[in-house]
Amino acid sequence: MPRLLPLVAFLVAAVLFGPSYAQDTSPSPLQDALQTVQAEVAQPSRATVPRVLAALLQADAPGTVDFLRAWGDREVSVRDADGLFFYTEDAPDRMQTLIDIDTRAPVATVSSRELSQIRPNAGVRREINSALVSYELTHPDPDRRIAALASIARSPDIEQIEPLTEARDAEEDPSIIQRMDRLLDLLNARFATDSATRIDAIEGLRGDISTEARRVLNQTLQTRADFAPEIPAGTNVARIRTPGEDMDLIAAYATLSDAGLVPPRPGRNAIRDVLRANVVDGTVGGVPVHLLTTDEMRLEAYRALEEAGTVAPLVTEADMREAVAAYVFFDAYLEPDAAVTDAARDSLDSTRTAISLWQFVSISLDALSLASIFFLAAIGLAITFGVMRVINMAHGEFIMMGAYTGYVVQTVIPNYTTSLVIALPLAFAVTFAAGVAMERLVIRHLYTRPLETLLATFGISIALQQLAKNIFGTQARPLTAPDWLAGAIQVNDVVSVASIRVAIFVMALGFLLMLLYILNRTRLGLEVRAVTQNPGMAASMGINPDRINMLTFGLGSGIAGVAGVAIGLVAQVTSEMGANYIVQSFMTVVVGGVGSVFGTLAGATLIGFLQKGIEWFNPANTLAAQTFMVLFIILFIQFRPKGIVALKGRAAGD
């Protein structure tokens, strides 16, 4: 590293005193400087790089940094005839355009056979990159300094500690200082030569949940398995293993056998081969061959051969225990200093605690996202089922109709943002009209017959699914989110939330506020609540219950259509997609409390958190999670049949 410090000083001076270049009377100062070390530049090695850097420092020529970067990236060629250096660009007919390294102007077009591309090896490139990183750490542009820190983090090296420390002392930006301190902790924890510095750096990583910090701590705590009659002095022992308890007895014996300390223990294949080699007149040790189909019979035949002195004795369990008892099996840290590993272990324990907390936050955010989807899917049903007491089995198909409406709009309007803005109100209009038509043609005739309502809407559900298959086919159709919703909000290395899920949560919150406003602040809401509580009294007050039922059913269906557009952005749009949400929607309404918007919100939250919590215990089986969730809800309803938010008064009695 000391041989790079002059170059660093030069590069900083080059930036601060750039106008002095105009005083250079040489027409090609950089080319002239390179010609003084022409052989070292044309055929570089790690031993010759310092001489090149010293020559460039002495020349103080403009364009030096760009040349070093191009030299390391193998973008410099030398002309064989005169040994001059050029940047090159491809030209037609396998020709190369020569670019002057001082003026950046094209000077000639020559055949590629007249040039030799300079190819620095990995060691040379590492030396060049170290010099460039040192320069970037002191660059006036803060973005360049941050990029240099990211480059060091990707490829950490012990030689980067000194220039980073010097840059840290000269840095004035508090945010960059914080980044530098963290990076110095990462480098010192891994590469520092004295234990005190390493321990201080490791303490600085306590609670750091980033991937880089965990990698450094885990590397510090790497172990190797070993054994010995006694643990050697000075060994940093991580764990002592006891054969037969926390270490397999056979594996321990095999370790000794591989080291040539005990006779090998024949396995099943070895026993089989021995028996095959000792078949005499159709028997092995007096046991007929046709009986050697089980391990017990093979062992009996082998013991017979053993008693006859034909084969070596089998190693028994007692023999293995006696052999391994003479040795100590242990895991030893690769790091010999126990103080360093103790500090790393304490820091990693603290980090694991922080990771557990952030994982809980991540699961909670996932559960909240799932709850918002369930709420969107169920809020329309909460109106039709909770308010009108209509069991609408076709509610899922209104979700499907809304998703297909969004797909059709995207096929017509390729701009995803514009199509989404148009699809949301259009999906509401389409499903509102479909809901009104369904209520006028079917539901209004079945208000007093709930079982027939269930059967009729179930038939309509099947018919709508088949109609969707006939129109759109059976393959899933894409409903693409705009680019501004395609990414994720990265909180840290553990927690990230998809932008589309945040948008769905905001949409669910918006629907909640809208419904509360409609039901509590508008004439329609007042009439809906009046008809819900006492249709006869509402009719005597001049309210038309028939009209209110139609509008209420249409409103619930329209909201389901808008929910379909939102759900289609995170799920596949198929003719069966509604069936995937109808069960959860009914569970959400029933668990939350029939007829209550806040009950639907509470039910969606409970089911979302419950499903994600069960999946956390058994992440490989989501079907099991849904099964346990249904069982829990059945038990919940047994103890609270009216749901979380139960209606009071006359409506509760109805």
Residues 6+ apart with CB under 8 A from 263: 257, 312, 315
Give the sign of the dihedral formed by CA 284, CA 285, CA 290, CA 294.
negative
237/99 same-domain check: no
375/457 same-domain check: yes
How far is residue 222 CA from its own chain's centroid? 25
Residues 6+ apart with CB under 8 A from 61: 21, 24, 29, 30, 32, 33, 102
**Mean pLDDT in residue range 340-360:** 89
Which residue among 566, 582, 598 closes a domain?
582
377/454 same-domain check: yes
Q: Is residue 383 part of a domain?
A: yes
Q: Is residue 182 part of a domain?
A: yes
278/365 same-domain check: no
**Mean pLDDT in residue range 262-274:** 79
User: What is the pLDDT at residue 11?
Assistant: 45
Which of 532, 570, 542, 553 is closest to 649 using CA atoms?
532
CA distance 477 to 404: 8
213/228 same-domain check: no
241/190 same-domain check: no
Helix (H) or strand (E) segment spanning residue 75:
none
234/144 same-domain check: no
pLDDT band at 409 (very low <50, low <70, confident <90, very high): very high
Q: Is residue 653 part of a domain?
A: no
Task: Count other C-beta atoms under 10 Å from residue 342's C-beta.
Answer: 14
User: What is the pLDDT at residue 431?
Assistant: 93
Q: Is residue 642 part of a domain?
A: no
256/315 same-domain check: yes
Of 6-10, 84-88, 544-548, 557-561, least confident by mean pLDDT is: 6-10
554/453 same-domain check: yes
Range of the domain at 254: 224-333
310 or 401: which carries more pLDDT confidence?
A: 401
pLDDT band at 304 (very low <50, low <70, confident <90, very high): confident
Q: Is residue 644 part of a domain?
A: no
Which residue among 275, 299, 333 closes a domain?
333
How far is residue 233 CA from its own chain's centroid? 44
Share of the chain above pLDDT 70, in %: 92
User: What is the pLDDT at residue 14?
Assistant: 43
Residue 111: pLDDT over 80? yes
Q: What is the CA radius of gyration of the chain?
A: 38
pLDDT band at 622 (very low <50, low <70, confident <90, very high): low
399/545 same-domain check: yes
Q: State both tokens at 386.
A: 């909770």
Q: Is residue 389 part of a domain?
A: yes
Number of structural domains found in the chain = 4
Report the b/e string of 347-381 with b at 16+ CB within 10 A. Answer: bbebbeebbeebeeebbebbbbbbbbbbbbbbbbb
217/228 same-domain check: no
User: What is the pLDDT at residue 60?
Assistant: 67
User: What is the pLDDT at residue 386?
Assistant: 61
Q: Is residue 622 part of a domain?
A: no
| pTM of the predicted model over 0.75 | no
Residues 6+ apart with CB under 8 A from 609: 364, 367, 368, 371
Residue 7: pLDDT over 70? no
CA distance 447 to 254: 77
Helix (H) or strand (E) segment spanning residue 232:
none
Residue 306: pLDDT over 80? no
Find where tokens 């303490």 sit: 203
User: What is the pLDDT at residue 620?
Assistant: 59
Q: Is residue 347 part of a domain?
A: no
Which residue among 222, 239, 258 closes a domain?
222
325/384 same-domain check: no
